[in-house]
Amino acid sequence: MFSVTAEQRQYLTYVLSDTQAKTTVEVVPERGGIITSWKLPQGDRTTEVFYMDEERYTHPELSVRGGNPILFPICGNLPDNAYTYAGETYNLKQHGFARDLPWQVVAQSVESGASLSISLRSSDLTREGYPFEFEVIFTYILQGNRLTIQQQFENLSDKPMPFSVGFHPYFAATDKEKLQVEIPSKEYFDKARTSYAFDGTFDYNQDEIDIAFEQLSAQVSTVSDRDRQVRLTLEWNQDFSTLVFWTVKGKDFYCLEPWTAPRNAMNTGKNLLVIPPKQRLTTAVSLIAEVLTPN
């Protein structure tokens, strides 16, 4: 019913499959631990949930624009890419380093789902911008049309470890005017921190939409795509405080991003997660993809 196989392509790619549901997820540990593909059956064909910029993906020096990149130890950007900790200034680029570093496979299972666990540990490179010893383990679990991402963070330092974590999923959308977006909030902030009332709609004629919802009344959001006939449901636990919606005019994607803290949290402290020395924290996000019945 479940399987995990490895295929050597440009990067070693792990394919998680639910053979009964005919769903698959592809994970590339060495390319930032990213999920690059999620397919489900739709009638007599297969539908790809994620958008992928294939050209950027082939260039290791470029960040991936597509799939489901990992954001750690920060989400968003910092002013001048800088923050202060214990009187010292450190530099981290937008969304942190996890999406650019190779992860290691540490476990796989086919018992209750197709499951792959990958690990990222602190190194001389990470300590340059983030002065903590850590191990992060993400476990991707495919069960039918549900994809669960379990996350474990271990602080191996002798001091408290602050961080935020998030995901930047690029969902495929060929006609964004036919998206029905349900977000559990009545207010959002733009990048200048100006607040606006949210009525459930977006103006896709703008060159870019990049907004953050920080007053969430529930832990679930859905997007129904009446063009592609796919509904996506995003679920998160209490550690995730922020939901970002981002899209660019003329591009066939939208991003609905769960973050544990907003931009610049390493400086402001707002909603930062902090793990005591030698302790662990676990959290989770789930995605459900469903094929809609045509009207």
**What is the radius of gyration, based on Cα positions, of the chain?**
19
For residue 134, the enclosing domain spans 2-177+251-287
Asked whether 248 and 254 are in contact (CB, 8 A), the reply is no
pLDDT of residue 100: 96
Residue with token string 């207010």: 187
Find all residues with CB under 8 Å of 127, minimum gap 6, and list them: none
Find all residues with CB under 8 Å of 49, minimum gap 6, and list them: 38, 39, 40, 171, 172, 230, 232, 289
Q: How far apart are CA 23 and CA 39, in angstroms?
A: 6
Q: Residue 17 belongs to a domain with what CATH number?
A: 2.70.98.10
Q: How many domains does the chain have?
A: 1
| Global pTM value | 0.96
Residue by residue, what is the 3-state secondary structure of the chain? CEEEEEEECCCEEEEEEECCCCEEEEEEHHHCCEEEEEEEEECCEEEECECECHHHHCCCCCCCCECECEEECCCCCCHHHEEEECCEEEECCCCECHHHCCCEEEEEECCCCEEEEEEEECCHHHHHHCCCCEEEEEEEEEECCEEEEEEEEEECCCCCEEECCEECCEEECCCHHHEEEECCCCEEECCCCCEEECCCCCCCCCCEEEEEECCCCCCEEEEEECCCCEEEEEEECCCCCEEEEEEECCCCEEEEEEECCCCCHHHHCCCCEEECCCCEEEEEEEEEEEECCCC
245 inside domain? no
Of 139, 108, 133, 129, nearest to 121 (Cα)? Answer: 133
200 inside domain? no
Residue pLDDT tens, the chain, 295 long = 999 999 999 999 999 999 999 999 999 999 999 999 999 999 889 999 999 999 898 888 888 999 999 999 999 999 999 999 999 999 999 999 999 999 999 999 999 999 999 999 999 999 999 999 999 999 999 999 999 999 999 999 999 999 999 999 999 999 999 999 999 999 999 988 899 999 999 999 999 999 999 999 999 999 999 999 999 999 999 999 999 999 999 999 999 999 999 999 999 999 999 999 999 999 999 999 999 977 6
156 inside domain? yes
pLDDT of residue 94: 96
227 inside domain? no
Phi, psi of 9 (to 5 degrees): -115, -145
98 inside domain? yes
210 inside domain? no
240 inside domain? no
pLDDT of residue 183: 97
pLDDT of residue 290: 95
201 inside domain? no
Q: What angle do CA 168, 254, 52 make, to 5 degrees?
A: 70
Q: How far apart are CA 131 and CA 114, in angstroms?
A: 35
Q: How far apart are CA 195 and CA 291, in angstroms?
A: 34
Find all residues with CB under 8 Å of 243, minimum gap 6, and list them: 183, 185, 212, 213, 216, 221, 256, 257, 258, 259
pLDDT of residue 295: 61
Asked whether 153 and 64 are in contact (CB, 8 A), the reply is no
For strands 114-121 and 134-143, give the pairing. antiparallel
Q: How far apart are CA 4 and CA 143, in angstroms?
A: 12
